[in-house]
Amino acid sequence: MHGIGNDFVLIDETRAPVGVPWEDLAISMCRTKFGIGADGLLILTKGDHAPLRMDMINADGSNGGMCGNGLRCCARYAFEHGLVDAPRFDIEIGR
């Protein structure tokens, strides 16, 4: 997915946990010449206090923390794929 020039690999873990080392996966998948190529990896899971949670791992494997463009991508994905039932909802951020 992409949001205003940033592109991401989005992994939906809401239905079935993948359980992989995200940092290693981000490094291998986000490489532009040898992987899919992206600015980072977005992991969407069920939230503790909100319907969903977004974790963002940068292409170098570091924790991305808050990413507005990534949040927009997760929100659109969640709504379009029926993970939420309203166009406005909360998403938890970060690890």
- Dump pLDDT digits (tens) for 50-78: 999 999 999 999 999 899 999 999 999 99
Say how many C-beta atoms besides its own lie within 10 A of residue 36's C-beta.
13
Angle at 26 between CA 35 and CA 91, to 5 degrees: 130
**What one-character-per-residue DSSP string does 31-62 give?**
-TTTSS--SEEEEEEE-SSSSEEEEEEETTSS
Token pair for 86: 């309203």
- Dump pLDDT digits (tens) for 17-30: 787 899 999 999 99
The CA distances from residue 74 to 33, 34, 87, in Å, are: 25, 25, 12
CB 66 within 8 A of CB 74: no
Does 88 have pLDDT greater than 90?
A: yes
Confidence band, pLDDT 50/70/90 cuts, at residue 12: very high
